[in-house]
Structure 1
Amino acid sequence: MASSLAALKSLPCPAGDNCNAFQCLFKHNKDVNINTTAESSEQPLINPTTTAIPSSDQGSPRKRIKLDSKLSSSSPLETTGQPPAVRETNQTDTRASSYTSKTQVSRSSPGSAQARNTLASSSTGQPSKSIPKAAPKAAPKTAPKAEPKKPEALNPRLLKSSPAKHDTRLKLVKALHEQYVRLNNELKKDTDKGASKLVLSDQELIVKTLDDEQEVAIKLFQIYANAIRNKIMAYKRMNIAQWKEERILATKDDKADNEGDPPAAPEPIVTGLTPPQEVDFLHRLVWPLNGLEKYGYVASIPSVEDIEKAKESVEASGNVEVCDRCTRRFQVFPGRRGEDGALTSNGSCTYHPGKVYFTERGPGKLSKSQKKYRCCHQNVDDDSGGCTTAPTHVFKTTDPNRLASLLNFAETPPNPNIPTDRAICFDCEMGYTVYGLELIRLTALSWPNYELLLDILVQPFGEVLDLNTRYSGVTPEDMVSAERWSPGDDCKPVNVSPTDSTKRPEKPKLKLVPSPKVARDLLFSLISPETPLVGHGLENDLNAARIIHHACIDSVLLFPHRRGLPHRNGLRMLMETLLNQKIQKEADETAPEGHDSAEDARAAGELVRLKVRDEWKDLRMKGWSLEDGKIVAPDEAWTVAGAKK
């Protein structure tokens, strides 16, 4: 049967070229073209190195190529025999030829190898076995766009294991959020500049509430109900000062998490006043010393009788002191001990140089915050002994009578040559001697221009035990190599430029005056009793120089601690939180010089300028104004305006 049907293929079709049969059993003229194409497609199997690529339907000639192992290259010319431009122009003709060939092959037997070769040859224009699949072009890589966070609703987050029912968690979340909103609204009313940066938005309050509730739900799963209620009660009892302190710590943590981000530039302080007007306004910030004696300020000169009593008490004790660092008792030998030349007794001193700080209190009524040292983060209650060792013990005294026994206090003398529009930023550095904490450096700058007027090293009265370089910034090399000052010399440091441009500038060379009294006299030559003296913790600086000055502007009093005196905010903390400036780099292996008194004096001046700006802003809201360059009250402004008319 199959052989008889195959015999019909040699007979011409009665319908001729008009035959529309799907698979006609008779012979057609176009079948000859198919056979010819099939034979040409099988030719590379006999001699693949010399076979020409068949032409397209239009008969356009094509380049001859070698069909070897190099044909698998990704080059467009090697895989298709045409450059990209030619291939694009012939795209329409190739599609038409492919469609015609497929139609003809469909009329052949489906399992024929000839038909498969014909289809491959007609669709690619070359033998099927020599054409690998072209690798698709990789799409250009683009950075994924960060999807903005969707705002969250005040609804507890879904947890894998919930510590309570959803209704219970929702009530507790709302109660916690209510306390956050209350404290945040009170913080909005705070007039301090730094407070505005601590205020949270509505969405940030929701996120903080959900974060805190989720943390309690995960970490304190077993006692969730009690823990979250204790947290709510803790914030219910919290006042605005405590909330502000917590927000400051949280802001610092956020900055630490984003250490890679560039720090924000400090904002300039614009008071709206000229420098003489600022100095005139500064007199409004003077704090009277009366009533501050119990906090270390000296308002009157100690009497001779009180000084003699202080000397007698020291002699009666045999110069036995309590170490300011390790609190151990030791004996001091001014002028050195005769038998061995020692300055102190009781060996070396082991102590913690870092200050004490308190950790955050955990949830629960019985939880307490811990006291730790910043130097090594050990608990204060642990009997660790200390993490640093010094060769001798040191001490300090704050008794005005005992301080006066070495050099008595003196009030600022009248000085008619001092201009009335001058203010001074003042800072001192102290080191430990056999007489306690003595003056070793004194710096004075003009305010508000910060021109350096005086910067000198001071030779103390007693033998030096420790220059306290970690905080004073004065090294033994500075004291030894300093040029001795003589009357008539300039009291400003000499900047030493390195010979090699790649090296860092050397530390300015300060001149050394012979005693604290000479340093005090140099400062008296720059001020008068009416000159505002600006500083931070001025009682320490004034006592070190034995000065009584009644026109002091202390940033400790302008920006008080929330607990009040004797607690005080540190200068570095105030600069970071209020002005976004970092100062007072502590001494380490890379920076052994520690602090800089000129930097501290300027920092205190900037804080005072900030207070001037805020106070002047409040006065303007109350009706104060500038008339002929002078600050006048509302009633005075009406009088001046009427006089002009």
Structure 2
Amino acid sequence: MANTLAALKSLPCPAGDNCTAFQCLFSHARDKSESDNKSVDHNTLNIQKPPKVTTTSRTHTNHDRVDSPEHDLQRKRVKLDLDSAAASPRPSSVSASSLKIRPGEQRKGSPARMSATIHNSSSRLSGPNLSSLTETKKQVVGPQAKLLQSMAAVSTAPAQSLSFTPEARPKPPNTPKPSSTGPESLNPRLLKKAPTSHATRVALVKALHKEFQRLNDELKKTAKGAERKWLLSDQEVIVKALDEEQEIATKKTSIYNTSIRTRILMYKKMSLAQWKDERSKVAQSADPSSTESASTAVVESIETGLTPSQELQFLPRLVFDLTPLEAYGYISKVPSEEDVADAEATVKACGNTETCDRCTRRFQVFPGRRESDGALASNGNCTYHPGKLYYLERAPGDRSRAQRRFRCCQRNYEDEAGGCTTAEHHVFKTTDPKRLAAVLNFVHTPVNPKVPEDRAVSFDCEMGYTVYGLELIRLTVVSWPAGDTLLDILVRPVGEVLDFNTRFSGVRPEDMASAERCDVGSNHEPTVIPTQDPTQKPERRLKIAASPKIARDILFTVISAETPLIGHGLENDLNAARIIHPKCIDTVLLWPHSRGLPMRNGLKYLMETKLGRKIQVEAPEGPLEGHDSAEDAQAAGDLVRLKIRDEWKTMQMKGWAMGAGGELMAPTEDWTVVGGAQVKKPHSR
């Protein structure tokens, strides 16, 4: 409609000059003349200054203002054409009143249009034009001054920053966040919703800071080499305390008091080795490119405060009675012949059908091989995941179901694609003592007078899968606490081998084939083959016992019924060797899982958390080396020494002491412990 009406303006009015219509839509000859009279020479911007307007002129009627050209010039906004202004020889002749902008029109103009106008025009302002515009700005107040200030500011900016639209505005470079304005004090940080009163938060922060300061001071006394990087400055200790308190206050608001007090108690009981472990992990996470292993610097030398002979005297205190633990695989009595016969009949009745220990499929085993084709097991290949399952960590507040993944390939447990590893045979294991006795029955460790009375040993076995389940294939014994190897041999199992379980046992078929045979009474030490390269360690070839019974008889030559036997998960090793020992010290029972049996802490986990030492480390590339049973046996012995150190400290607090002959002396009734020192009780009158 608007376009149609505008088109009528180009047509002459039918009434001609006699038209009396108000605001006629057609053109007239007088319109052109009036336009010429009111035109402004924009090329030169030579606008004559209108006469001064008095207060009485504002009271004129509309008719007076329309008829007066001067008032009309003053009333209408003069558009400043900056293109012409750049070429004007007299830019200073522009009056301030000619640049006046009416408030109503200023509101009608859109910000985007005004920004574009400023952007297009400001690039042409330079030299004297800009100076004249600046001079004019000084004389103008109100909206005009703001407009001129914007134009002057834009003209001095770089060309690429003149566009004020969000799309065209250049993004600033990524600059680091400004550092803190100053050091922090032991004053809890301001939170939107404080979990408790400010005074309580201050007291808890100071208690947490006290423990951090204590641990940092202890580390400062013994720090060597890379450990110096783990030290904290006084300000860093304060920041760490504030960070810990703020994290608990924001994430555990409802249980704030309990959580932070538990955290304070944890650091209060934390040893220097545990603090080193924590600091090393923080340093390693801050610098992932560092090739320095945290375990190399965190390893703690175990100082029990006792001599080796005194440590041996302490060992009987750590012996467990295995009789109540039969439900968890510990066997304390020898199965009878009737039990063995029942187990054999049961296996025969089911046709040697088993459930695969890896993929849970049912299959059949054939001891002595199947006559038709010589197969050892049915149901084809076994596809499985060798890694254990673990739960993915969820974000705080995430109540969705946690995902379970396999450590070997990081695949979800719910994935139906099958396993990531394929083996030739399905395998199984059994923990039933009757079935184990059907292959080789258990025996009690005999008394051997030739074994020194002051001997204690660490014991570890490696097992492989055969047609009779898990069988012993390597046996290792090391002295305790010295750690010297007393026995390390391979063992030929009773049944045909389905899988040597090399990933964990470290035993390969070629090791068994090339091993030299050893018997009871013969030299069972490994054969050492020197290498041509002096920098390389000589090769050690283990000898092999012809059967598990012969290997057990060789074991009885280095231990006696009175010898303390140390190990991790001893029920597995004792059952593999088919022995029942009266003095067993199991690190699974010394360092129990928080949920109790049958849950167990792994040996690798205990060594890393308790002693900061990494064992059973798999190579990132190449074939799997498997576990070293000698290393595992030594690790179990070190955990026992750590337990002795902690127990002895507790006993000393209760008043125990060492006698002149090295014997343990219990506190008498006349003595008590005050402040960690043994003092005599005051006699009451």
- Identify the TM-score tier after normalising by the shorter chain: 0.5 to 0.7
1:255 matched residue in structure 2:
284
* Equivalent position to 1:306, from 339, 343, 350: 339
Contact 1:423–1:446 (CA under 8 A) maintained in structure 2: yes
Cα distance between partner residues in 2 of 1:637 and 1:527:
42
SS of match in other structure, 2:354: strand
2:439 matched residue in structure 1:
406
The residue identity in structure 2 corresponding to 1:538 is: L
Cα distance between partner residues in 2 of 1:240 and 1:554:
31
Contact 1:357–1:371 (CA under 8 A) maintained in structure 2: yes
Cα distance between partner residues in 2 of 1:385 and 1:376:
11
Contact 1:483–1:512 (CA under 8 A) maintained in structure 2: yes
1:419 matched residue in structure 2:
452
1:437 matched residue in structure 2:
470
1:111 matched residue in structure 2:
none
Contact 2:466–2:496 (CA under 8 A) maintained in structure 1: yes
TM-score after normalising by structure 2: 0.61
The residue identity in structure 1 corresponding to 2:553 is: D
Contact 2:207–2:264 (CA under 8 A) maintained in structure 1: no
Cα distance between partner residues in 2 of 1:308 and 1:498:
52
Cα distance between partner residues in 1 of 2:202 and 2:370:
67
Moved more, 269-278 or 580-589: 580-589
* Equivalent position to 1:501, from 528, 534, 548: 534
* Equivalent position to 2:524, from 455, 477, 491: 491
The residue identity in structure 2 corresponding to 1:626 is: M
SS of match in other structure, 2:541: coil
Q: How does 1:299-448 map to 2 (within 5 A)?
A: 299-364=332-397, 366-448=399-481
Contact 1:348–1:393 (CA under 8 A) maintained in structure 2: yes
Cα distance between partner residues in 1 of 2:262 and 2:359:
35
Contact 2:185–2:238 (CA under 8 A) maintained in structure 1: no
Cα distance between partner residues in 1 of 2:266 and 2:401:
16
Runs of at least 5 residues in structure 1 that lack an aligned partner in the other structure: 1-145, 157-165, 217-226, 639-645
Contact 2:529–2:540 (CA under 8 A) maintained in structure 1: yes
Cα distance between partner residues in 2 of 1:392 and 1:612:
45
SS of match in other structure, 2:596: coil
Question: How far apart are 1:188 and its partner, in Å?
Answer: 13
2:244 matched residue in structure 1:
208
Cα distance between partner residues in 1 of 2:191 and 2:534:
70
Identity %: 53
2:588 matched residue in structure 1:
556
Question: How far apart are 1:304 and its partner, in Å?
Answer: 1.3
1:629 matched residue in structure 2:
662
Moved more, 505-514 or 583-592: 583-592
Contact 2:466–2:499 (CA under 8 A) maintained in structure 1: yes
Cα distance between partner residues in 2 of 1:446 and 1:599:
12
TM-score after normalising by structure 1: 0.65
Contact 1:496–1:505 (CA under 8 A) maintained in structure 2: no
Question: How far apart are 1:366 and its partner, in Å?
Answer: 2.4
1:168 matched residue in structure 2:
192
The size of the alignment, in residue pairs, is 466
Q: How does 1:78-89 map to 2 (within 5 A)?
A: none
2:144 matched residue in structure 1:
none
When the two chains are superposed, the root-mean-square deviation of aligned CA atoms in Å is: 4.0
Question: How far apart are 1:496 and its partner, in Å?
Answer: 2.2
Cα distance between partner residues in 2 of 1:329 and 1:249:
46
The residue identity in structure 1 corresponding to 2:335 is: P
Question: How far apart are 1:323 and its partner, in Å?
Answer: 0.6
Deviations 1:147-195 (A, max 9, x none): 9994466555xxxxxxxxx762455897999999999999999xxx99x
Question: How far apart are 1:342 and its partner, in Å?
Answer: 1.0
SS of match in other structure, 2:489: strand
SS of match in other structure, 1:449: coil
Deviations 1:542-580 (A, max 9, x none): 000001001000011001111111111111111111111
Question: How far apart are 1:333 and its partner, in Å?
Answer: 0.9
Cα distance between partner residues in 2 of 1:282 and 1:622:
19
SS of match in other structure, 1:443: strand
The residue identity in structure 1 corresponding to 2:591 is: F
Distance 1:240 1:604, change over 3 A: farther
Moved more, 479-488 or 591-600: 479-488
Cα distance between partner residues in 2 of 1:565 and 1:187:
34
Moved more, 293-302 or 201-210: 201-210
Moved more, 360-369 or 247-256: 247-256
Distance 1:180 1:602, change over 3 A: farther
Question: How far apart are 1:364 and its partner, in Å?
Answer: 2.5
Cα distance between partner residues in 1 of 2:419 and 2:202:
43
1:544 matched residue in structure 2:
576
Does structure 1 residue 605 correspond to structure 2 residue 637? yes
Moved more, 613-622 or 537-546: 613-622
Cα distance between partner residues in 2 of 1:231 and 1:187:
22
Question: How far apart are 1:318 and its partner, in Å?
Answer: 0.8
Deviations 1:210-234 (A, max 9, x none): 4678xx8xxxxxxxxxx77579699
SS of match in other structure, 2:529: coil
Distance 1:201 1:536, change over 3 A: farther
Moved more, 570-579 or 262-271: 262-271
